[in-house]
Structure 1
Amino acid sequence: MRHIKWGLVVGLVILTLVSLGGGVTAIAKGTDKTVTFGQLTAKNPKRLAAIRQAARQQILKQAKAKKGNQITAVYQVKLPTHMTKKATLTPDGLQMNLLANHFKLKKITIPYSQLKGKVVNRYLPKANRTKSVKTTKMVALTFDDGPDPKLTPRLLKTLKKYHVHATFFEVGQSVARYPKISRAVLAGGNELGNHSWNHPNFNSIGTAKTVSQVTRTNRAIYQATGTLPQYVRPPYGNITAAEGRAIEQPVVRWSVDSRDWAYLNTRKDINEVMKDTHGGDIVLMHDIHAQSVAAAPTIIKRLKAKGYKLVTVSELLNYHALPGLQYFGAHDYRTTGK
C-alpha cells in the first residue's frame, strides 16, 4: 500500500507542475499543453515576429524545399499575428497549425532550440533557456560584403587556427556565385547574415525594393546552406522604420567601425580596431579586402591577450535579438530606423 500511495503522491506533484505550465510541460514525455502566443511572448509583438521567423525556417525544412519559388512562397504563408491564437507545447517542440498554404502543410513543430530567446524562458526546456551572461569580456567580429572566393577561405582558416567564431554579412549575388564558401562559413561554426542582394542604399530605393533585396538574399543563402539567415545588416547602416517592420528580421549594426574600406592598410586597420574596441562591442570589417583579412590574426591575438572572448553576434546578444529592433552592441539597441 505504501508504494501505491507514494506513486499517487508523485503523480499528483507531476500533474500540479504540468498545470502550472513552463519547461516541465515542454519536456514531459507524452505530455502536450495548449498555450496562447500571448503567454509564450508575454504579449510582446516583437517576440511573436521572431516566432514567425522561426516558423518560416521550419516550414521550409518540413517541406524539404529547395527551389527558389518555394523559398519566396514561405513569406506568403499566413502566420499568427494575434496573441489569442493558440499553439501546443509538445516533447519535440512548439506545434503550430497552419492555414491552407503553398506547401500543403497542416502543422509544423518548431524545435525548442530554434526558439531560444524568442519564447519566455519558463515555456522552454532548461537546455534551451537563456541565462544571464557577462559581456564585459565579449566582442563580436563581423565581416561584410563577401563571400570572396580567395579572401573568405583565408579568413576562415585564421578563425579556425585561433579557435574563434565571427559573423559574416553576405551579399546575395556573391552567395549565388560562391555557395560553397557560404557553406564553409557555417561549417566552421560561424554565423551568416543578410547584407542585401547587391548593396544598394535602402533609404533611396523604398520599402518594396528593400523587401525584395532582403528576400532575394534570404533565398540565395537558403539555397546555398539550407538555412534562412536570422539577421539583416543594411548597406551603409541605412534603414527606415517601415523597412524594418516589413522585413521582420533583427537588424545588426555596429559600435566599432574599422574603416578598413577607406584605409586599405593593415596596420591602420589593426590600430583602429584596438583603439576603439571594448567589451560588448560589435566590430565592423570586410572580408573582401586583402588588408583587412591580413589584419585579422593580429587583431584576434591582441583582443584575446586582453582577455576578450570573440563570439558570434547571437552569443553577444544572448540570443535575444528580435525583429523590429536594431542592435549596435551587447546592451545598445533601439527601434529599427530610429
Structure 2
Amino acid sequence: MKKKRLLLLSLVVTMGILLVGGGITAQAKTANKTVTFAQLTNKNTNRLAAIRQAAREQILKQTKAKSSKVAAVYKVKLPKHMTKKATLTANGLRMNLLANSFKVKQITIPYAQLQGKILNRYLPKANRTTHVKTNKMVALTFDDGPDPTLTPKLLKTLKKYKVHATFFEVGQSVSRYPKISRAVLAGGNELGNHSWNHPDFNTIGTARTVSQITRTNRAIFQATGTLPQYVRPPYGNITAAEGRAIEQPIIRWSVDSRDWSYLNTTKDINEVMKDTHGGDIVLMHDIHAQSVAAVPTIIKRLKAKGYKLVTVSQLLNYQALPGLQYFGAGDYRTAGK
C-alpha cells in the first residue's frame, strides 16, 4: 500500500514539474524582447518609414478614430532614429509614443501589418515573406475611379473570372461614391491613392502634393475604415522631395495601355497583350466603357498564356516600401528618380 502511495506521489510531482517546465518554456517563447529599429530594419530608412506608416494605421484603429483625425495622425511624432527601441511581444511590435493629440502612450502593431517591412527573423513564421516566382504573374491596375456604373461592372467581371486587381482612386470620387470603394475591397481587391483631383504633382509643389494625398487618404478612410498603402501619382510624376514627404510606396507601371487615348476596345486588348510579360504592372482606367469592355478578353488571353492575375501587393511580395517607386516585380528605384 505504501509503495502505491509513494509511486502515486512520485507521478504527481513529476507531472507538476513537467507542467511548470512547460509553462516556463511557453512563457520564454513569448517573452518581451527589446530591439532597436536598426535591428528590425537592418538600418534601412525605407523600412523605418514603413513602420511609421503601419503605426499611423494602428493609432487610428486603436483609438477608433473618425476620418476627421486622419490629418492629425501624420503629425504624431514617430521614430526616425535607428537607436530608438521597441518591444517584440506575443501580439506584435509594441512602441511607446511621445505626447500626441490622440492621447495614446503606447501602440502594438500586429505582425501581419509588418510583413515585408521588418526583417523576417523578427516575425512569426506565418508572417514572413518567402520567395515568389513572378515570371507568370501580372498585376492589372485601374486608375481614376470609382465610376458609379463602370466600376461595379468591372468588379463583376473580376469576380466572374476569380481574379483580383488594384484600383487607384481619386479622392473626390471616393467621397461621392463611398459604397463603390467599399465594394472594391469587399471583392478582395486593393485600393490605392491617386490624389484628390488629379493634378500634376511636379507643378504644384511638395506641400500641396502632401495635402492632395492626405485629403484622399482621409476620404478612403472615411469610406472603408482603412488607410491605403500605396500612392500612384497622376501622370506618374513625382519629385524626390514629394516621395520622401508622402511616406507611402509609389506604384508606377511597366505596361501602359493608353486606353484613354484610343477609347477602342479592340485596340486596348491588342496593346495590353502585345506588351505584357511576367512581372508587369498594367495600367488601365475604369472610367472608360471601352476599357472595361476589354477586360474579360484580356483576362482570358493572359490566363491562356499561363499568367496568374494578382494584386500589386502579391506581385511585389508585400515588400513595397515608402520612398521607393515600383514599375514591376524587381523593378524599383528611389521616388523621383
For Structure 1 versus Structure 2, the TM-score category normalised by the shorter chain is over 0.9
| 3-state DSSP of counterpart to 1:76 | coil
Q: Do the aligned partners of residues 209 and 277 (structure 1) sit closer, same or farther apart at CA in structure 2, a change above 3 Å counting? A: same
C-alpha displacement of 1:7: 5.2
Query: Which residue number corresponds to residue 51 of structure 1?
Result: 51
Query: Which residue number corresponds to residue 76 of structure 1?
Result: 75
| 3-state DSSP of counterpart to 1:134 | coil
Partner Cα separation in structure 1 for residue 314 and residue 208 of structure 2: 31
Q: Do the aligned partners of residues 173 and 134 (structure 1) sit closer, same or farther apart at CA in structure 2, a change above 3 Å counting? A: same
Q: Deviations over 1:301-320 (max 9, x none)?
A: 11011110000000000011
Q: Deviations over 1:129-186 (max 9, x none)?
A: 0000000000000000000000000000000000000000000000001000000000
Listed as ranges, the matches of 1:86-101 within 5 Å are: 86-101=85-100
Q: Deviations over 1:66-89 (max 9, x none)?
A: 142x11100000000011111111
Query: Which residue number corresponds to residue 194 of structure 2?
Result: 195
Query: Which residue number corresponds to residue 21 of structure 1?
Result: none
The reply on whether 1:317 has 2:316 as its aligned counterpart is: yes
C-alpha displacement of 1:242: 0.4
| 3-state DSSP of counterpart to 2:138 | strand
Of all paired residues, the percent bearing the same amino acid is 81
C-alpha displacement of 1:32: 1.2
CA contact (8 A) 2:67 2:219 kept: no
CA contact (8 A) 2:138 2:308 kept: yes
Structure 2 residues without counterparts, runs of 5 or longer? 1-9
CA contact (8 A) 2:67 2:221 kept: no
C-alpha displacement of 1:34: 1.0
| 3-state DSSP of counterpart to 1:333 | strand
Partner Cα separation in structure 2 for residue 245 and residue 71 of structure 1: 19
Amino acid in the other structure paired with 2:51: I
Partner Cα separation in structure 1 for residue 137 and residue 78 of structure 2: 35
Partner Cα separation in structure 1 for residue 126 and residue 138 of structure 2: 24
Amino acid in the other structure paired with 1:230: Q
Amino acid in the other structure paired with 1:134: K
Query: Which residue number corresponds to residue 260 of structure 1?
Result: 259
Amino acid in the other structure paired with 2:315: L
| 3-state DSSP of counterpart to 2:145 | coil
Amino acid in the other structure paired with 1:159: L
Larger radius of gyration: 2
Amino acid in the other structure paired with 2:34: T
Amino acid in the other structure paired with 1:137: K
| 3-state DSSP of counterpart to 2:74 | helix
CA contact (8 A) 2:67 2:218 kept: no
Q: Do the aligned partners of residues 152 and 202 (structure 1) sit closer, same or farther apart at CA in structure 2, a change above 3 Å counting? A: same
The reply on whether 1:249 has 2:210 as its aligned counterpart is: no
Query: Which residue number corresponds to residue 135 of structure 1?
Result: 134
Partner Cα separation in structure 2 for residue 14 and residue 118 of structure 1: 29
Amino acid in the other structure paired with 1:94: L
| 3-state DSSP of counterpart to 1:186 | helix
Listed as ranges, the matches of 1:31-70 within 5 Å are: 31-68=31-68, 70=69
Q: Deviations over 1:38-70 (max 9, x none)?
A: 1111111100000000000000001101142x1
Query: Which residue number corresponds to residue 285 of structure 1?
Result: 284
Partner Cα separation in structure 2 for residue 7 and residue 325 of structure 1: 51
Query: Which residue number corresponds to residue 182 of structure 1?
Result: 181
List 4+ stretches of structure 1 deviating above 4 A. 1-4
Structure 1 residues without counterparts, runs of 5 or longer? 19-24
| 3-state DSSP of counterpart to 2:336 | coil
Partner Cα separation in structure 1 for residue 59 and residue 283 of structure 2: 33
Partner Cα separation in structure 1 for residue 195 and residue 336 of structure 2: 16
Amino acid in the other structure paired with 2:194: H
Query: Which residue number corresponds to residue 156 of structure 2?
Result: 157
Query: Which residue number corresponds to residue 147 of structure 1?
Result: 146
Q: Do the aligned partners of residues 246 and 202 (structure 1) sit closer, same or farther apart at CA in structure 2, a change above 3 Å counting? A: same
TM-score, normalisation: structure 2: 0.93
TM-score, normalisation: structure 1: 0.93
Partner Cα separation in structure 2 for residue 163 and residue 202 of structure 1: 35
Q: Deviations over 1:13-58 (max 9, x none)?
A: 959x96xxxxxx5xx3xx2111111111111110000000000000
Greater shift after overlay, 252-261 or 35-44? 35-44
Partner Cα separation in structure 1 for residue 79 and residue 65 of structure 2: 22
Partner Cα separation in structure 1 for residue 108 and residue 147 of structure 2: 36
Equivalences, count = 326
| 3-state DSSP of counterpart to 2:192 | strand
Partner Cα separation in structure 1 for residue 67 and residue 166 of structure 2: 26
Amino acid in the other structure paired with 1:142: T
